[in-house]
């Protein structure tokens, strides 16, 4: 089935006995048993819920996985995946990651005995060099947040296979509409469903998509035990959001391409980080491994004062954390998404007082550009 059709109809569209066109919200905590040893297949909503199940089927189909598990947030999904590992295990991670993942790894997972080595995963030799005997996985984001680094997923998958490591890819920035890491050799795909999948800045959600039944079984056990499941109502909102994923992704990307080109020629902008610009280091890899460049742009202004001025003067664009929704948002990574990363590490990556991040929305591109123009004046 084509991806556009899966977005609208789910993996296998079935109506219930009423013929309801949309998936009903099964707002129930528990399910009655018909008799001893009998079950409808649903026992308790932490384990399974029909609305959540429909959403999980859609996301698994979109990501070409054997299973997708819907969590209450993206961070809940990543935390659950960390439970696959044991004290003493080591994981190689991208040195440019969402700040919340960095915080989880260094403040919670390390406390539980895991160790991490952060490397620039665009450099394959560096990944190889940092694999240790106790390494169990490689965790990457591509494009990365916020510096938009592009890692070659298929090449990293080869390294992971050779060393018997799991490859975990956070695919939040491109969504399954533009990129399918499992097809390139990933074992687990992560999503903050809060972003493009939900698409409306109104719901928190997270997903872990598995490439094998074995991984799915292990993660389902953690899921039902830890309990950070997505509610029936939020599952419904995600199903609703995904119905328009394809047109949102296309239109937001169209806007982003125009905006990136406009920013690149602005005298107060010193650098633009967007994989859709042919000058970007990862342009060719992006074209090879993804079907689009997405709509996340980071850019460096000429001074801290200009960056503050933009944040304070934007009118249409909202100065807010998060991304992937229909509204254009501007973020100050240094103070918001990446505030918990030690200053020296942050600065070395270019996440400084001049860096801003845009999540380009669905408004008319001319209106977004006009807003930025007046804010930069």
Ligand X SMILES: Cc1ncc(COP(=O)(O)O)c(C=O)c1O
Q: Going by DSSP bridges, is the β-strand pair 67-71/90-94 parallel, antiparallel, or unpaired?
A: unpaired
| Closest among 253, 256, 247 to 372, alpha carbons compared | 256
Q: Which is nearer to ligand X, 92 or 208 (CB)?
A: 208
98 binds ligand X (CB under 6 A): yes
Among 75, 114, 159, 197, binds ligand X (CB under 6 A): 75
Alpha carbon 252 to its chain centroid, in Å, reads 16
Residues in 277-306 at the binding interface with ligand X, rule: CB under 6 A:
none
Q: Which is nearer to ligand X, 206 or 276 (CB)?
A: 206
Query: Is 170 annotated as catalytic?
Result: yes
Q: Which is nearer to ligand X, 50 or 74 (CB)?
A: 74
Cα–Cα dist 231/239, whole Å:
12
Q: Which is nearer to ligand X, 360 or 375 (CB)?
A: 360
Least distance CB 208 / ligand X (angstroms):
11
Number of helices and strands (H, E) in the chain? 14, 12
Q: Which is nearer to ligand X, 244 or 336 (CB)?
A: 336
- Local structure of residue 42 (DSSP, 8 states): -
Least distance CB 13 / ligand X (angstroms):
27
Query: Are 62 and 193 in contact, with CB atoms under 8 Å apart?
Result: no
* Burial class (CB within 10 angstroms; exposed 0-12, middle 13-18, buried 19+) of 41: exposed
Number of residues that bind ligand X (CB under 6 A): 13
Return the half-sphere exposure (C-beta side, CA atoms, 13 A cut-off) of residue 351: 29
Query: Are 94 and 129 in contact, with CB atoms under 8 Å apart?
Result: no
Site string for ligand X, 144-183 (x = CB under 6 A): -x------------------------x-x-----------
In the block, tokens 């997405």 appear at 294
Least distance CB 76 / ligand X (angstroms):
7
Q: If you write DSSP's letter for every residue of 233-297 in order, what string do you get?
A: HHHHHHHHHHTTHHHHHHHHHHHHHHHHHHHHT-TTEEEEE-TTSTTSTTHHHHHHH-S---SEE
Beta-bridged to residue 355, according to DSSP, are 300
Q: In the structure encoding, which two tokens stand for residue 162, read together?
A: 């050779």
Q: In the structure encoding, which two tokens stand for residue 70, read together?
A: 């819907």
Q: Which is nearer to ligand X, 127 or 329 (CB)?
A: 329
Annotated active-site residue in 195, 346, 349, 357: 195
Stretch in the footprint of ligand X (CB under 6 A) among 67-75, 230-238, 275-283, 355-363: 67-75
74 binds ligand X (CB under 6 A): yes
Q: Which is nearer to ligand X, 100 or 261 (CB)?
A: 100
Least distance CB 74 / ligand X (angstroms):
2
140 binds ligand X (CB under 6 A): no
Least distance CB 172 / ligand X (angstroms):
4
Least distance CB 369 / ligand X (angstroms):
24
Query: Is 2 annotated as catalytic?
Result: no
Residues in 41-60 at the binding interface with ligand X, rule: CB under 6 A:
none
| Closest among 204, 278, 282, 285 to 241, alpha carbons compared | 204
Annotated active-site residue in 67, 89, 152, 170: 170
Stretch in the footprint of ligand X (CB under 6 A) among 72-80, 301-309, 326-334, 358-366: 72-80
Site string for ligand X, 183-222 (x = CB under 6 A): ---------x-x---------x-x----------------
Among 45, 48, 73, 231, binds ligand X (CB under 6 A): 73
- Local structure of residue 24 (DSSP, 8 states): P
Range list of H helices, the chain: 3-9, 50-63, 74-82, 99-103, 124-129, 153-162, 175-178, 213-226, 232-242, 245-264, 283-289, 304-313, 343-349, 365-376
Residue nearest to ligand X (CB): 74
Active site residues: 46, 98, 170, 195
Interface with ligand X by CB under 6 A: which residues?
Answer: 73-75, 98, 100, 141, 145, 170, 172, 192, 194, 204, 206
């Amino acid at each position: 089935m084509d991806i556009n059709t899966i977005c609208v109809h789910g993996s296998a569209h079935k109506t219930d006995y009423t013929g309801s066109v949309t998936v009903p919200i099964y707002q129930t905590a528990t399910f009655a048993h018909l008799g001893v040893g009998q079950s409808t297949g649903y026992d308790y909503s932490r384990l399974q819920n029909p609305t959540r199940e429909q959403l999980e089927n859609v996301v698994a189909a979109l990501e070409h996985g054997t299973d997708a598990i819907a969590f209450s947030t993206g961070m809940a999904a990543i935390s659950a995946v960390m439970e696959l590992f044991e004290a003493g295990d080591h994981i190689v991670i991208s040195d440019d990651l969402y700040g919340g993942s960095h915080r989880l790894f260094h403040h919670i997972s390390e406390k539980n005995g895991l160790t991490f080595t952060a490397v620039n995963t665009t450099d394959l030799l560096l990944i190889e060099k940092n694999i240790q005997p106790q390494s169990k996985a490689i965790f990457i984001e591509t494009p990365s947040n916020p510096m938009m680094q592009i890692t070659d997923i298929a090449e990293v998958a080869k390294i992971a296979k050779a060393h018997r490591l799991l490859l975990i890819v956070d695919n939040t920035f491109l969504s399954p509409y533009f990129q399918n890491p499992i097809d390139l050799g990933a074992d687990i795909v992560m999503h903050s469903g809060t972003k493009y999948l939900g698409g409306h800045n109104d719901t928190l959600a997270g997903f872990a998509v598995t490439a094998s039944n074995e991984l799915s079984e292990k993660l389902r056990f953690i899921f039902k035990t830890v309990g950070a499941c997505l509610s029936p109502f939020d599952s419904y909102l995600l199903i609703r959001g995904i119905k328009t994923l394809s047109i949102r992704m296309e239109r937001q990307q169209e806007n982003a391409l125009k905006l990136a080109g406009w920013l690149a020629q602005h005298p107060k902008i010193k650098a633009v980080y967007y994989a859709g610009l042919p000058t970007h280091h990862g342009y060719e890899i992006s074209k090879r491994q993804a079907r689009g460049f997405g709509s996340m742009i980071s850019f460096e202004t000429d001074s801290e004062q200009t960056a503050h001025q933009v944040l304070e003067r934007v009118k249409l664009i909202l100065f807010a954390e998060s991304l992937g929704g229909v509204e254009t948002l501007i973020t100050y990574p240094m103070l918001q998404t990446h505030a918990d990363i030690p200053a020296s590490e942050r600065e070395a990556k270019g996440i400084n007082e001049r860096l801003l991040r845009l999540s380009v929305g669905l408004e008319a591109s001319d209106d977004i550009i006009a807003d930025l123009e007046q804010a930069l004046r």
